[in-house]
Amino acid sequence: MKIRWKLRMAAAQREVWTGAQLRRLLADKAGLELSAASVSALLTKEPTQVKLSTLAALCTALECSPNDLFEVDTTPIEQHVRPPQPAAEPKAASSGGRSMPPL
């Protein structure tokens, strides 16, 4: 599954061009105080995780839905199937060591 982060596009569609503008919106509209570095990272990097509270604040500040912020590719991944391996032949019992249980 591939997830594409679209925050930059969603912000631009609402005429939010800088991290400072987004940071101000988050504080004013959603009550979320993020550092300048955190906002910059949200705008410039593909996050591996986002808190639900941050996602909700972004949606509130930008007046959008989560679908506007990321896209999930649900195309099944083609997996290579290995051909079945032939069953191994049983080993001959040796006279020493452990004994085999009765069959």
Give how many domains the chain has, as a whole number: 1
Q: Among 60, 69, 59, which Cα is nearest to 4's?
A: 69
**CATH number of the domain to which 67 belongs:** 1.10.260.40
pLDDT (tens, 9 = 90+) of the chain, 103 residues, equals 678 899 999 999 999 999 999 999 999 999 999 999 999 999 998 888 899 999 999 999 999 999 999 888 888 877 777 777 777 666 665 556 677 777 7
Domain contains 89: no
Note the pTM of the prediction, 2 decimals.
Answer: 0.68
Write out the residue range of the structural domain in which residue 57 sits. 2-73
Contact 39, 45 (CB under 8 A): no
